[in-house]
Amino acid sequence: MSSTTTPSVDDRLTSRGITIPDPPSPVAIYVPAVQTGNYIYTSGQLPTVRGELVATGKVGAEVSPEQAAEAARQCTLNALAAIRSLVGDLSRVIRVVKAVGYVASADGFTGQSAVMNGASTLLGEVFGDHIGSHARSAVGVAALPLGAPVEVELVVEVAPPR
């Protein structure tokens, strides 16, 4: 690879020690992701590892903002797994369009944006600044499924199959 070559997604993952998990099983009646045209919309992904939540509770009470940012990162890994299950290879992602994060927030907690930095930072690590830069919303909510502290959904644009 020459110094002018952009690292592939697989190279970025390997060099950063990032492993995309198998896609989590849905916890209700929905599919993890849907493709329409060149866009993939993920369902909201919870911070699960092998079917178990990495944390439960409200951010700013039982869950620290730092723990919640790590949970947002795990949600994003799960969303990437859902995307990969549809297209087979994350190198087909040509643009992360939008990330939406829902943060179960204790009364008075206003750091939802900082929590979502866990997701945004990971997207930059995986795809680089050009592809990984995205529009974003970070929304405080009263509660999330299964008591999760955060939930993340993504919209990405993919290249047609080669």
The model carries a pTM of 0.94
Please write the tens of the pLDDT for every residue from 130-159: 999 999 999 999 999 999 999 999 999 999
Our measurement of the distance from residue 57's CA atom to the centroid of its chain's CA atoms, rounded to an integer in Å, reads: 19
pLDDT digits (tens, 9 = 90+) for 105-131: 999 999 999 999 999 999 999 999 999
Cα–Cα–Cα angle for 153, 40, 52, nearest 5°? Answer: 40
- Could you write out the three-class secondary structure of 89-116? CHHHEEEEEEEEEEEEECCCCCCHHHHH
Nearest to 132 by CA among 89, 157, 84, 96: 96
What's the rounded Cα separation, in Å, for the pair 147 and 36?
A: 31
Fold of 32-158: 60s Ribosomal Protein L30; Chain: A; (3.30.1330)
Domain residue limits, the chain = 32-158
pLDDT tens digits for range 10-69: 888 889 999 999 998 888 899 999 999 999 999 999 999 999 999 999 999 999 999 999
